[in-house]
């Protein structure tokens, strides 16, 4: 019995170690993104599905909101909403890991979180 428990613990430690490797990679590549959004998109990718997500981006103060609005519409086909004196932008659109990486790498973005768009348009933030 002790031997079986030892094997189970070894398997658990293996999962924890692999998770820590993933967590470090996510933080490096998607430094501004809530890790749960990245994980959700990985599951989507593995299932070969694309979903609409409601994405919340915190922006640096003083950004050109009009130009950013036009750029978002051009890239997503959706019009964003701005809050908190233009420092919070929310928009729902199709999202994948590559597009999220492009958003993450923008200089005008401070942080990003999101959730799958659900019935009625509610989200999990």
Asked, for residue 112, whether it belongs to a domain, the answer is yes
| Residue ranges making up the domain that contains 108 | 31-119
Same domain membership, residue 39 and residue 26: no
Asked, for residue 125, whether it belongs to a domain, the answer is no
Per-residue burial over 83-114, b if 16 or more Cβ lie within 10 Å, else e, is eeebbebebbbebebebbeebbebeebeebbb
Same domain membership, residue 101 and residue 77: yes
Domain count, the chain: 2
Asked, for residue 80, whether it belongs to a domain, the answer is yes
Asked, for residue 124, whether it belongs to a domain, the answer is no
Same domain membership, residue 112 and residue 59: yes
For the chain, 125 residues long, give each residue's pLDDT as a single digit of tens: 555 667 777 899 999 999 999 999 999 999 999 999 999 999 999 999 999 999 999 999 999 999 999 999 999 999 999 999 999 999 999 999 999 999 999 999 999 999 998 655 555 55
Same domain membership, residue 22 and residue 41: no
């Amino acid at each position: 019995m002790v031997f079986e428990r030892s094997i189970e613990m070894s398997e658990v430690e293996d999962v924890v170690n692999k998770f820590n490797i993933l967590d470090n990679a996510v933080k490096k590549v998607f430094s501004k993104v809530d890790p749960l959004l990245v994980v959700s998109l990985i599951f989507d990718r593995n299932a070969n599905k694309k979903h609409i997500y409601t994405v919340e981006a915190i922006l640096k103060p003083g950004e050109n909101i009009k130009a950013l609005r036009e750029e978002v519409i051009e890239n997503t086909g959706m019009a964003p909403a701005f809050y908190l004196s233009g420092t919070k932008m929310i928009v729902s659109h199709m999202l994948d890991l590559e597009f999220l990486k492009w958003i993450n790498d923008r200089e005008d973005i401070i942080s990003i979180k999101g959730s799958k768009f659900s019935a009625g348009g509610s989200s999990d933030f």
